[in-house]
Amino acid sequence: MIPRSSQSPKQPDSAVPDVLAAGLRVVFCGINPGRVSAAAGAHFANPRNDFWRLLHATGFTRRLLTPAEQFDLLQDGVGVTNAAPRTTPGSGDLRKADFAGAAERLERLAVTLRPAWIGFVGKEAYRGAFGDRPQLGEQQRRLGETRLFVLPSTSPANAAVPWDERLRWFRALADASAAISH
């Protein structure tokens, strides 16, 4: 039986639970829970967020999941967490202090659970955790043996990035994570 969530390293004081297990293909890391996600207790719960559709369109999931089915991700070798635990109306409401300890927590997650990849859903999730301004795609930085990849944000606030562009980056991670897995 697949564990529903790992007890270590836990995301502190978040309205949305981590969806983690050992040896996953990819752990997706969002920036933080928005109000809709916090109310639902589920990642990427805003119905206008493209996350779940992109996962299915690029083969990360066998079927289109709903946010309420987030723990079913584990059956497809996928997990999800956030860089910052605090719920905000938008990511622009986050402060630097909201990311305190994020890099260390993600490193513990990588060393303890050994996912092949961590895919940051948006440049700001990566920047918040590490303080660097990343480009989209695979990063030089590694956490233990875990590779890092930055994707475009799937938030409705990032609607300027067209679906096809988001799809292209999610497909690139799907291909890379299929080629390099445990």
117-162 pLDDT tens trace? 999 999 999 999 999 999 999 999 999 999 999 999 998 888 889 9
Give a yes or no: residue 102 inside a domain.
yes
Give a yes or no: residue 141 inside a domain.
yes
Span 47-55, mean pLDDT?
Answer: 96
pTM for the structure as a whole: 0.90
Give a yes or no: residue 153 inside a domain.
yes
The per-residue pLDDT for 8 is: 39
Give a yes or no: residue 82 inside a domain.
yes
Span 165-170, mean pLDDT?
Answer: 98
Structural domains of the chain, count: 1
| Helix ranges (DSSP H) in the chain | 35-40, 51-57, 102-113, 123-130, 163-179
Name the one residue in this structure whose structure tokens are 């445990």: 182
Give a yes or no: residue 10 inside a domain.
no
pLDDT higher than threshold 50 for residue 34: yes
Q: Which of 127, 96, 98 is nearest to 29 (CA)?
A: 127
Give a yes or no: residue 68 inside a domain.
yes
Give a yes or no: residue 63 inside a domain.
yes
> The domain containing residue 141 runs over which residues?
27-179
What's the CATH code of the domain at 57? 3.40.470.10
Model confidence pLDDT, tens digit, residues 5-33: 444 344 557 889 999 999 999 999 998 88
95 or 28: which leads in pLDDT: 28
Q: What are phi and psi of 133, to 5 degrees?
A: -95, 105
Give a yes or no: residue 3 inside a domain.
no
